[in-house]
Amino acid sequence: MKMKLAIAGTGYVGLVTGVTLSDVGHTVTCFDVDEQKIQILKQGTSPIFEPGLEEMIRKNTEEGRLSFTTKPKIAYEEAECIFIAVGTPEGQNGSANLQYVERAAIAIAKHAKNNPVVVIKSTVPVGTNEKIEKILYEYSGHHLNVVSNPEFLREGSAIVDTFSGDRIVIGASDKAAGDRVEAIYKPLKLPIVRTDIRSAEMIKYASNAFLATKISFINEIAILCEKTGANIIDVAKGMGMDKRIGEQFLRAGIGFGGSCFPKDTNALQKLALDYDYQFKILSSVTEVNHEQKKHLFHKAKQYFQDLNGKKVAILGLSFKPNTDDIREAPSLDLIQELLLEGAEITVYDPIAMENVKKIYGDRLQYASSVSECIEDKEIAFIVTEWKDIRDTSFATYRKLMREPMIIDGRNCYSLEEAAKEHVNYISIGRKPVFFKKFQ
């Protein structure tokens, strides 16, 4: 059954949702309050970097199923189902800031005329969907059904994740409203989990908190590997082959960033406190992550006590590869620490550089390739494992750096390679490899 849909918010989640649902045949109008974003989208360009997204925007716009507007009336008036996918950034005391969701709900209440189901895709604390139902009633004068449908896509593989996700969660108190949302997703042929509203809201936070816990756990094991002489790659492999544990999210690194894990772990802790409960595991997860983001910096300090005036390269700025998103990215923590030490920093990222330029301006140098970034530097930090960074050979570092000292936060190389190629190589959860100078 093809439906007329509207999406509130054309960020990573809203845009991908709107574009993919139009691709399976629904007619979708995407609404955003950001005029500039909508202008860019109307020209068939994507305001965010997401593999495959721009092509899909053009195709569905040309075929007449996808449109963009800044006018709420155009988006909401005739829609049968309206997805709210606006941001829920961290607010006071770690809680989720719900002002954008509430504003979206008020606009929907004022303009919707086709008795739509309102679907909340934004990540919101337990109880929010019920609050939104009340706001809709207050501003429209009649009852509109609200369905919780949290999103699990990952930036960098958002399109693939939408078409081949593990599950779609639909939490509804009204069966017919839940059925309507289920029908929208039917063409994707993915497993559907139907729950009550509060459980759906909790599934999202519990999933993100669990994944964040896995990351902080393996990062602490990596620290112990460094101290004891074990190798984290082998340890993670041996653990991950146990099906009860699973191999994913066992890659030690320099901590989690991005727009979700940091704020969602904080929001869940705040939610727990609101219910007079202290979520003890999660406070440790956050604390470990905070420390882990400084790991590369501490390593550099360990080997070069004085970083003042040191020429350093930072390779990779986005919080993970294949996205331009730098929200809470570990690169920002490293840049901050190095600036305070007086290091001379050159950065490179294939996509996210402009976003970093907006923050740091001319306090950093910007290189247009890995080679340009590392040339003549004393230390190269690998922060994000983009393909061109991963593919850079040790021979290139040897050729271009004064005396290669590579501090790799993503374990891109094997220790055998490093030893063979005569570089100084420090990674996460493994023994350092020294060619000379630091031996």
Ligand X SMILES: NC(=O)c1ccc[n+]([C@@H]2O[C@H](COP(=O)([O-])OP(=O)(O)OC[C@H]3O[C@@H](n4cnc5c(N)ncnc54)[C@H](O)[C@@H]3O)[C@@H](O)[C@H]2O)c1
Catalytic sites, residue numbers: 260
| Closer Cβ to ligand X, 100 or 185, answer by number | 100
CA–CA separation, 311 and 309 (whole Å): 6
Tokens of 289: 């992550």
Q: How many positions of this chain bind ligand X (CB under 6 A)? A: 26
Least Cβ distance, residue 33 to ligand X (angstroms) = 5
Span from 9-17, 138-146, 376-384, 395-403 in contact with ligand X (CB under 6 A) = 9-17
Pick out residues in 382-411 that bind ligand X (CB under 6 A).
none
Tokens of 327: 């929200």
Among 23, 50, 151, 408, binds ligand X (CB under 6 A): 151
Asked whether position 5 contacts ligand X by CB under 6 A, the answer is no
Asked whether position 98 contacts ligand X by CB under 6 A, the answer is no
Residue tagged 């990674």 (tokens) = 427
Contact between residue 327 and residue 319 where contact means Cβ atoms under 8 Å apart: yes
CA–CA separation, 408 and 254 (whole Å): 9
Asked whether position 11 contacts ligand X by CB under 6 A, the answer is yes
Pick out residues in 170-189 that bind ligand X (CB under 6 A).
none
Among 3, 5, 6, 12, binds ligand X (CB under 6 A): 12
Asked whether position 103 contacts ligand X by CB under 6 A, the answer is yes
Least Cβ distance, residue 263 to ligand X (angstroms) = 7
In this structure, the dihedral spanned by the alpha carbons of residues 266, 271, 277 and 283, taken in order and rounded to 10 degrees, is: 0
Least Cβ distance, residue 323 to ligand X (angstroms) = 8
3-state secondary structure of 337: helix
Residue tagged 């109008």 (tokens) = 29
Least Cβ distance, residue 95 to ligand X (angstroms) = 13
Asked whether position 120 contacts ligand X by CB under 6 A, the answer is no
Contact between residue 324 and residue 350 where contact means Cβ atoms under 8 Å apart: no
Nearest partner of 6 among 145, 155, 119, 124, judged by Cα: 119
Report DSSP state, residue 116. Answer: P
Query: Which positions ≥6 away from 430 have C-beta within 8 Å?
Result: 225, 226, 231, 232, 233, 411, 415
Asked whether position 9 contacts ligand X by CB under 6 A, the answer is yes
Tokens of 201: 């809201």
Among 109, 147, 260, 271, binds ligand X (CB under 6 A): 260
Asked whether position 74 contacts ligand X by CB under 6 A, the answer is no
| Closer Cβ to ligand X, 32 or 349, answer by number | 32
Asked whether position 85 contacts ligand X by CB under 6 A, the answer is yes
CA–CA separation, 151 and 181 (whole Å): 13
| Closer Cβ to ligand X, 87 or 330, answer by number | 87
First-to-final CA distance of the chain? 68
Among 27, 29, 61, 123, binds ligand X (CB under 6 A): 123
Kind and range of the H or E element at 324?
A: none
Pick out residues in 23-42 that bind ligand X (CB under 6 A).
31-34, 37
Residue tagged 């189902």 (tokens) = 81
Residue nearest to ligand X (CB): 11
Asked whether position 203 contacts ligand X by CB under 6 A, the answer is no
CA–CA separation, 411 and 232 (whole Å): 10
Q: Which residues are annotated as a binding site for substrate?
A: 152-155, 204, 249-253, 257, 320
Contact between residue 308 and residue 319 where contact means Cβ atoms under 8 Å apart: no
Among 90, 100, 192, 394, binds ligand X (CB under 6 A): 100
Among 8, 38, 41, 312, binds ligand X (CB under 6 A): 8
Least Cβ distance, residue 32 to ligand X (angstroms) = 4
Contact between residue 397 and residue 404 where contact means Cβ atoms under 8 Å apart: yes
Residues that bind ligand X (CB under 6 A): 8-14, 31-34, 37, 85-88, 100, 103-104, 122-123, 151, 153, 155, 259-260
